Structure 1
Amino acid sequence: MTVKTKRRKVVLDTNVILFDAFALLKFGDADIHIPFAVIEEVDKFKRDQGENGRNARQFSRFVDVLRNKGSLAQGVQIDNHETFVYITTDMGISGLGTELDQAKADNRILSTALALQKQHPRSKVELISKDINLRIKADVYGIYATDYDNSDVNQEDLYEGYQEFDVAPSKIDQFYQDKKVTIDAKLYGNQYVILKDSSNPNHSAIGRYSLKEKAIIPLINPPDSIWGITARNVEQSFALDALMNDECMMVSLVGKAGTGKTLLAIAAGLFKTLDEGRYQRLLVSRPIFPMGRDIGYLPGDIEQKLNPWMQPIFDNVEFLMGADKKAAGRTQELINQGMLNIEPLTYIRGRSIPKQYLIVDEAQNLTPHEIKTIITRAGSGTKIVLTGDVYQIDNPYVDSANSGLTHAVERFKGQEIAAHVTLTKGERSALAELAANIL
């Protein structure tokens, strides 16, 4: 088969495949070279029970289908794509420094990219890797290297969920009188709006854009307090509106530590479940990182093993129950009655969760595929709340741009049954707010 020498040449690192099993479909008109070192590394993950294992197995099955269509050494075209896939023997070239120890898989992958660049000097050779250090080494050797990003999300442009507008005084007066108003601006469904009098900043109003009304409408007026919690700033007012709105079945709250994401979500969940009875139970969960790993062989039953992971959630629930020694007992009573469940996400795959208020805490550590797995578990009448801080990510395969939480915010933007709020003002304490800003 004749190969066009000027085509874009892409060398994939193992971590790209473990992040996205179908990354091969994302490069358009290109020749994708997969070094032997990558195949060997993928093979080590195929028995892994977590997300890495699933992606490794899916990738291997995908490449096996290509193998049946022709020689992978010569290149096989993916159906309905301009992409050709090559499995490339590790290419070594003479004259490399001793620092490129060929016993290391990363160095063999880099050597393959260098050899391709030497073979095809008129083509652009790209090394795609989520490994920052490998990209640094590639730069030293003159190879163009970049991170793999399968999303269109620019972190600086991430949807905040609300917007501020300067309007004529009459618009604000109309809003208070008619309980709705329209403005000349493009707004997304359930986007929150701050209207400020252009001549008097103290004359203002806040509301939410309704797709049904095609207008900005007032926020839901909650009781004086929800389990002792009231909004301390305008962003928290927006968050409570989304959490209390029964028409919003998917809510995402993003913000730094201490902004009240989890506490507001749990307070609203307790109110909706226990006070209003709209949901059968409140289910609060968080990933035992990484998602899919078992909870281990430590002594004790499942509850004792989970306590260290779930303690932050218990802390919030007990705070809402009352700052006394009886709070833990009241929390346990709700658990015994089946009204409150606190559990890991490890075994959520395959479940159907109807008529529950599901809070997924620390959602920034999840991949887009894991977020999809969770949200598609929602049965009839279930509300899902995702909370997290995209700048506090512990998953080495995820960053702020391709986190599942970021992905969900962008994909659900403007949907009639979804709402999003970015919280920026810390309310935990003056010390916590200062630490979040200066450390």
Structure 2
Amino acid sequence: MPTDKAQALVVDDETDILELLRITLARMEIRAVTATTLIEARTRLAEQSFDLCLTDMKLPDGSGIELIRHIAAHHPELPVAMITAYGNMDSAIEAMKAGAFDFVSKPVELQRLRQLVGAALKLAHRPGGEHGGERVPQLLGDSLAMAQIRQLIAKLARSQAPVFVTGESGTGKELAARLIHAQGPRRDGPFVALNCGAIPHDLVESELFGHKKGSFTGASSDKQGLFQAAEGGTLFLDEVAELPLQTQVKLLRAIQEKAVRPLGTQHELPVDVRLISASHRDLNAEVERGRFRQDLFYRINVIELRMPPLRERRGDIPALADWLLARIAEKSGADTPRHLAPEALAALAHHPFPGNVRELENILERATALCEHSLIEVGDLYLPDPASTHHDTAPEITAPPTAPTEPTHWDHAAAARRLGMSQRSLHYRLARLGIE
């Protein structure tokens, strides 16, 4: 909870807005220091420190965007939110790209304002590493690429802007999303994840927005949607490119209005959710093909985070392998984890890893199961011949010889693409064939 020492800089040239914000903040035990121009705001920032800043978009001597950039450059720890005209999402997105923590539209809704201020003060008063004693996930590796990713994640955690995580399958897109959540002001709220490619198209809207009993065949009771389940926290939509176009329209409205309408109801319900989405596909190409709405892509891709493939950070393989082997041993109940012989580690360092970290984990799980000693040798890895494009040397116990996921290192998304079918169809066929 904020204390009587908390101070906010409020920048607006409309007297009634300044008074409304001052009174609202006072009821939250926050002292408001006001400014009506860009120059005056910069003077206030130079004179004293603040816990948060609220600024209008249009000021008599400039734009609120200029103030946001000034704060980002000179006061990077200060959360700043933009006050925009109603429905002006373009301005809101521009503000968040410039470094704004969040935005609120005029006429200002007091409940929304209180939520925003509360989240901003959590950033100001709590270190990013705290998470109520819970174990926070980590991105392993000392490579320059991972150091840059960790820095960007820490920056993104201080914002409420929608983030779009790109990268090949197995690069850790969901882990990055969980870190953004864990280091941000929503850390005490839920983190809810959905793989959009794993839900049948006729059920995905019910999963996202919920439904009322009797709204469609099989709806035997009311169901809460994932937007509502993620209230106060983060909703992570993995493989968002798999959403059908009709659902994309409704998702766009939910983002713009910060509200959802469950199937079978006539009223929208307000939701307070931060959205992070991800895909291994090139969404620009999907937009050009007419498979993904350009306006939705513009909304979810306010800030892009690219997760590098493992082949771009081979120096991280030893640390990753040690951590994975320790986790495999823990899961299996072994007293001590196995270790890699130098030759085995060298072989892994030269492997192309089309399946990235997920493939490395699969290789080490297989090697642990087959190895009869504490030291994993090259032969225990069953890596393919570098000159071959197929895994003909893989042991038969990993899957039946005709398993469609074997040449793709058990990467279901890649296998589905090669076979020209959806992941959902592939999962159905694997189940019918008894392939695990």
Q: Does the alignment reach a TM-score above 0.5? A: no
Q: Which has the higher contact order (CA 8 A, sep 6+)?
A: 1
Bigger helix share: 2
TM-score (norm 1): 0.31
